[in-house]
Amino acid sequence: MCFHIIHISGEMANMTLSIPEELYREMQRHSEIRWSEVARQAFELKVRELHWMDEVLRRSELSGEDAERIGHRIKHEIAKRFQKKRQGT
């Protein structure tokens, strides 16, 4: 996906997004939705999440090595859970 941000003086910048044609057709089926508002809210949510993560990391006493080890352990446990679901147990 590519996008362009055009900032024109004022409170809002304009952004142009490229989306897959199939997604665009689905969006057209629901023209009552203000898709620019949906996108703006998604961007705001992601920025808030990033700010929260930055704050957590700023306060964290974990080393990068600790975080890497924990991340691998979490991925391993998730993989085990999905494997069990696929096997029906």
- The model's pLDDT over 53-65, given as tens digits with 9 standing for 90+, comes to 999 888 888 888 9
Confidence of residue 9 (pLDDT cuts 50, 70, 90): low
Q: pTM to 2 decimals?
A: 0.58
Q: Distances in Å between the alpha carbon of 19 and those of 1, 7, 55?
A: 6, 21, 32
Q: Distances in Å between the alpha carbon of 77 and those of 62, 63, 82?
A: 20, 21, 9
Give the number of domains in the chain.
Answer: 1
Average pLDDT of the chain? Answer: 86
- The lowest-confidence range among 25-29, 39-43, 62-66, 74-78 is 62-66
Which range marks the domain in which residue 47 is found? 3-87
